[in-house]
Structure 1
C-alpha cells in the first residue's frame, strides 16, 4: 500500500496537506499515467463534502421535500427517501434505516432491488420482515444517526465506484456498510455481504448500459475502467 489518510499537516504556503493510501497496483497506474493526484483528490473531496453537507442539512418537516437538496440522487432514490420520510412521519418518529430500506423496496423498479435479488434475497420477504408503520401522516420527523450515516455512506460508495450520481443501488450499499442500523442487520442476517453487493452493483449497471449503449456509453466506459483498476474484470 502507498500513502494513506493521516493527520493533516501544512504544505507549501501553509496549505493543509494529507497523504492518501493507494493499493500498489493503483499507485503504479497513477504514476504511469502521470495523473495530477492533488487536483483529482481535491475535486473528489469537494464533491463529497457538498453531498454529505446536503444530507446533514436535510429537513424532514411535514411540508417540505426531504430530497430538495439531494441533487445528485436519482429520481428513484429520491422517491425512495420521500417514501421513507412519509413512513416515519406516520409513526411520529425518526426516519431510520428500516424506513430507507422500505422506501427502496416500495419503489420497486430500481437497481437496488435488482442487486438484492442478485444477492439471493427476496424483496417481498424483506418487506414483510420490516417493522410495520401507521399509514396516516401525523407530524414531522428527523433522520436517526444511523440513517444519516447510511445516506453518507451511500454517497461514499457512489464516489468510490466512480459514479457521479447516487441511486437506490448505492442506498443498498450504504445500508449494508452502516454497522448499527436495523436494515443492515436484516440484510446481513439474510446473507448479504458488502463486497459481493458492490460487485452486483457494477454488474447491474454494466448490464443496463449494454442494453442501452448509446445514451449511457460514458457510464459503461467508466465502469470498464473501474473493473480493470479493482481487478473485477477478467
Structure 2
C-alpha cells in the first residue's frame, strides 16, 4: 500500500498521540471525502465553461455552489446584476458589484496593492468588451436571452462570468479553502485577460500570482490575529480568576476573624 507522509505542528502531533487517535484510518477517511468533494467541484467547473450547459436546470448544482459562497460574494453578484441594468451580466458588471459591496477582502487587497478603486470601477462600467453568451438552447431554458429578466441565478450571465465563478471555485480548492469569497472571484476575473474585467485588471497592472500571494498572506495574518486575540483573552480570564480567588480567600479570612 502506498505511503503518504503527513506533517503536523508539534502541539497537534502531541495531542494526537495523547488522544491515541488512529491516524491512518482518520487520514484515509478525510482524504477519501476530500477527493469526492474536489472531483464533484471540478466537474462543476468544467460544466460552467460549457456553453450548452444550463446550470439553472440543475438545482442541486446551484444549491451546492451557493452553499460555498460567502454572503459578501452573493451580495456582490446581485449588485453586479443591478449594475448591468437590464443588459447581459458581464465580468465588468461583476467587478463593479464587488467594488460596490465595499467590505470584502478583494477590495481591501486592491487598496493594499495601491489600486484606485474608483478608477477600476469606472473602467469596468465603460468597458466595451463584448462577451459571448451561452447557446440559444441554454438561454431559452433559463428564461432569458439577455440580462436582468426573470429566470434563475445564472440567467443573463455571459460565458466569461460563468467561467470566472468556476475559476473562483477552482482557486478556492487550490488554496485549500472550504468557501468561495470575493478574493477568489478576483482571481477568477484575472484568469481570463480577454474578458471585460480581466482586461481592466490587467491594464491596471494586476497579476494573478501576486494577488494569490496577497490572499495567502492576508488570511495567514487574520489567523495569527485571531490566535493572538484568543491567547490574550485566555490570559485575561486566567488573571481575573486569580484575582477572584484571592478576594475569596481574603473574605474567608475576614469572616473567620469575625470582621
TM over 0.5: yes
Kept in 2, the 8 Å contact 1:48–1:156? The answer is yes
Report matched runs for 1:141-152 at 5 Å. 142-152=156-166
Range with greater deviation from structure 2 (178-187 or 73-82): 178-187
Residue 90 of structure 2 corresponds to residue 76 of structure 1: no
After TM superposition, the score normalised by the length of structure 2 is: 0.58
Shift of 1:216: 10
The aligned counterpart of 2:222 is 208
Shift of 1:155: 0.4
Shift of 1:132: 5.2
The aligned counterpart of 1:31 is 4
Structure 1 residues 176 and 215: CA distance shift in structure 2, 3 A: farther
The aligned counterpart of 1:159 is 173
Which 5+ residue runs of structure 2 have no aligned equivalent? 7-23, 128-146, 232-259
Cα distance between partner residues in 1 of 2:230 and 2:63: 25
Structure 1 residues 216 and 192: CA distance shift in structure 2, 3 A: farther
Kept in 2, the 8 Å contact 1:96–1:144? The answer is yes
Report the structure number with the largest CA radius of gyration: 2
Shift of 1:47: 3.9
The aligned counterpart of 1:117 is 111
Residue 183 of structure 2 corresponds to residue 189 of structure 1: no
Which 5+ residue runs of structure 1 have no aligned equivalent? 1-29, 60-65, 218-234
Shift of 1:41: 2.7
1:71 is paired with a residue whose SS is helix
Shift of 1:54: 8.7
The aligned counterpart of 2:55 is 57
Q: Tell me which protein shows more helix as a share of its residues.
A: 2
Shift of 1:139: 3.5
Shift of 1:83: 0.6
Residues 36-57 of structure 1: CA deviation (Å, up to 9, x unaligned): 5972433321244467769962
After TM superposition, the score normalised by the length of structure 1 is: 0.64
The aligned counterpart of 1:87 is 83
Kept in 1, the 8 Å contact 2:172–2:179? The answer is yes
1:130 is paired with a residue whose SS is helix
Shift of 1:211: 2.9
**Total equivalences in the alignment:** 177
Cα distance between partner residues in 1 of 2:35 and 2:172: 15
Residue 108 of structure 2 corresponds to residue 108 of structure 1: no
Cα distance between partner residues in 1 of 2:109 and 2:229: 22
Cα distance between partner residues in 2 of 1:149 and 1:50: 11
Cα distance between partner residues in 1 of 2:206 and 2:79: 23
Residue 42 of structure 2 corresponds to residue 44 of structure 1: no
The aligned counterpart of 1:223 is none
